[in-house]
């Protein structure tokens, strides 16, 4: 017997996407001031992007 595939939660996906976008914008805003902080923030946004795809 095949198991049913769960449908993605569109609301959570959108919410996480907005959070990821805000963090990504913050990361780009840090570029002129600190390359290290900008890199960390942008990597964090990519990790959140992975979580976004799993919702």
User: Which pLDDT tens digit goes with each residue over 1-55?
Assistant: 677 777 788 999 999 999 999 999 999 999 999 999 999 999 999 999 999 998 8
Cβ atoms of 23 and 39 within 8 Å: the answer is no
b/e map 6-20, b = 16+ CB within 10 Å: eeeeeeeeeebeeeb
Q: What pLDDT, on a 0 to 100 scale, did the predictor assign at position 1? A: 64
| pTM across the whole model | 0.81
Q: What pLDDT, on a 0 to 100 scale, did the predictor assign at position 36? A: 98
Q: What pLDDT, on a 0 to 100 scale, did the predictor assign at position 4? A: 77
Segments of 1-55 assigned E as strands? none
């Amino acid at each position: 017997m095949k198991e049913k595939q769960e449908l993605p939660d569109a609301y959570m996906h959108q919410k996480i996407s907005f959070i990821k976008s805000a963090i990504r914008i913050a990361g780009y805003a840090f570029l002129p001031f600190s390359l290290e902080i900008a890199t960390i923030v942008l990597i964090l946004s990519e990790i959140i992007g992975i979580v976004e795809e799993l919702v």
